[in-house]
A and B are shown apart, each in its own frame.
Chain A
Amino acid sequence: MKTRGVSIAACLTVTALAVASCSGGAGGEAEEGPVTLEFQSLSDQPAAIEATESIVSAWNEANPDVQVEIVPAGWDGIYDKLITQFNGGAAPDIIHYEAASIVPFAQDGYLADLSEHMSDERRADIPEGVLDSVTVDGQVVAYPTELQSYVVFANRTLLEEAGIEIPTGETMSWDELREIARATTQGDVYGLGWGLASPTAAFMTMAPQFGGTYFEGTGADASLTVGEGEMALPELVDAMAHEDGSILPVTLTQSGSETLASFYAGQVAMTVQGSFQAANIANDAPEGFDWTVLPPLEGPEGAGQAANPQTLSVNIDSEHVEEAAQFIEFFTDTENLAALNEADALIPATTSAQEHMASELGEENGWSTILDSGQHFTSAPYLFVDTYAQWKDTVATPAYQRFLAQEIDAAQLAEQLQSGWDEITM
């Protein structure tokens, strides 16, 4: 008995001491003086962190009554963190995230309607397809800030050795890409390396070029169609990999970043990558590596790519929605957005910032071509589908992987995509 009593007392004492000694942070502060807005930022690159801090400092200096405090967070697990914060009433005022992930929060009523706060100037400056990606039930729920497009990086030396004239037009057709890939596939060199370990995002993004939309309708009422337009790109990749033999097979199982090693080593003449890789290639490529960015890819239905921008949105429970929106308006002005995107090696979501960046950077590291691709963003129907994430992870990605590994044919792929969807939504 005596021992038990001593143990309990010791435990209580230690707990009390731990609680008393470790406590820190957390709300409960009396609200006096200027308004303070919490801005949960996911900026991860040192230059982008610096750019974000610089923009916030400029705002804080110009607006002593509305101070913005950056709360850095990582991308890993941010969805779970946000969902808990929203449900627990502890979400920050301003939220940085991608459109695909904030749409469900908007549909559940956690994000403020910014339609009235967005200036006409800003609205006109955002390409229609990009604005669509942050418009839920007619309400603008976020400001788009940064995007990436898929572009083709080419080893200029290998193309020239194969007698290929580097394409310079406004766009480049998929047939042209296939021809170049065939022509540059010689000896140990493959024409193309494409990191398709997670192929769904790439196929969804570029489906509009073939008239593919995948989804019609929104929310729980959305329906899936897997027709010619949706199957065109997977079938083209399959043909290039297995009929032409012009795609390095191992890259189909790698991530985009992993594929770059083959590109640097001259194992592949071209690689399809997210445009942000331009900065990594400029930094990591071996000395003397002569590379370029080929014109944006274009299919029979145009050069459109589905837009899934990074965004800034406002917590609907924030006591200062208007001030938060004013800050975001400032954050997304031309010079700020250009500086942030230059630091992150991404494409600004406004036309004026794209032009500003193009004039600043010129042809350096293929930037003018990459920024040109920013004019081709279209709306992305999949953003507004309730069960898209589940379908993507449990049905689409495994089915595409099996297809690219030649375990199933095109008809089976289409059937699995459709039946998997039906099963999830039944």
Chain B
Amino acid sequence: MRALVRPAQYLGLAAYILFLGFPLLWLISASVKSSGELNSLTVSLLPEQWHWDNYSQALARQGLVRSSVNSAVVALASTALVILVALPASYVLARLKGVVRAAGVGWILVSQVFPVILIILPLFLILRTMGLTDSLAGLTLVHTTYTMPFALWMLQGYVSGIPVDLEEAGAMDGANRLAVLRRIVFPLLAPGVVATAMFSFVSSWNEFFFALVLLQSPENYTLPITLSTFIGGEGKVALGPLAAGSVLAAVPSIVFFSIMQKRLTGGLLAGAVKG
């Protein structure tokens, strides 16, 4: 009986992975099917005939590579900005008591209340005054601002989880404030920083509405905007090229995650040892 437990666990795990990965498999399958096959009642994961033309259409016609680079620039820049600002700010929020903390937390919550459609026009006017509409810099600042409250919320939760006693112990051993932060707090915060960075990156990578409204020139389009051009008027959708474009669009995100995932696990382990 016990011998069966491990295979059953693996089987369950495999089934769960298949369940999670199935939409991606289906996307890949759709990306190599012809339009006729996509519009038939016969459903199969493997295409009858491999139709690679969808990829050449996606790459050639829609400027997908350029948009991927734009998305990567905006997502990485806004992630870096979010972490740089949120890391010290969240420490202050978590450690300070009284009015500052209450006001900070209140600001975070209130900032989440306003729907995007309500702020887009004033935002557009401000950015226009600054000459930042139709620019990746402007979009980076918007993504940073938009992601910041939740990132702060996430990170201050991680900071709160680190016992103050650890910092006090470090101080008693002679470490100054900077040394305490650098040697004790930040290493323990690594998993939180990685998780927040992942959240910021994905938020920016997938963001559609701000990019739609703020970007005008095709050379500045980000991936979601370029992918949306596969959907036409009158209900027309270029499903094959759209799927191919989506597969290609997912690659940088997967690479980023696979790199960050190791850091996430490593940070968790480091935290466990320190704690």
Contact = CB atoms under 8 A, between A and B. Distances in A.
Interface of A: 2-4, 7, 10-11, 14-15, 18-28, 42, 44-46, 49, 71-77, 80-81, 84-85, 87-90, 98, 148, 255-257, 260-262, 264-265, 267, 274, 276, 280, 283-286, 310, 346
Contact of B228 (A76, A84, A256, A346): A76
B232 A75 contact: yes
Interface residues of B, number: 57
Nearest to A281: B39
Given A26-B131, A81-B213, A286-B36, A10 B233 contact: no
Given A42-B233, A71-B216, A264 B81 contact: no
Given A46-B57, A84-B124, A26 B228 contact: no
B173 interface: no
Nearest to A5: B88
Contact of B234 (A77, A84, A274, A285): A274
B253 interface: no
A284 B231 contact: no
Given A3-B181, A261-B40, 12 more contacts: A22-B137, A23-B131, A25-B134, A44-B238, A76-B212, A87-B124, A90-B124, A90-B216, A264-B39, A274-B235, A283-B36, A286-B40
A77 B208 contact: yes
A75 B216 contact: no
A84 B127 CA distance: 12
Given A18-B77, A77-B209, A257-B39, A90 B133 contact: yes
Contacts of B235: 255-257, 274
Contacts of B61: 46, 49
Which of A2, A22, A44, A49 has most chain B Cβ within 10 Å?
A: A22
A22 B121 CA distance: 22
B135 A26 contact: yes
B121 A25 contact: no
Nearest to B126: A88
Contacts of B128: 88-90
A338 to B, nearest CB: 18
Contacts of A75: 228, 231-233
Contact of A265 (B41, B136, B217, B234): B41
Interface string B231-253: 11111111000000000000000
A23 B137 contact: yes
A3 B208 CA distance: 36
Contacts of A14: 77, 80-81, 84
B112 interface: no
B31 to A, nearest CB: 17
Which of B124, B209, B216 has most chain A Cβ within 10 Å?
A: B216
Nearest to A42: B233
B136 A81 contact: no
17 contacts: A2-B178, A14-B84, A18-B77, A18-B137, A21-B137, A22-B73, A23-B131, A25-B219, A26-B217, A44-B232, A45-B238, A72-B229, A80-B212, A87-B121, A88-B128, A90-B128, A261-B41
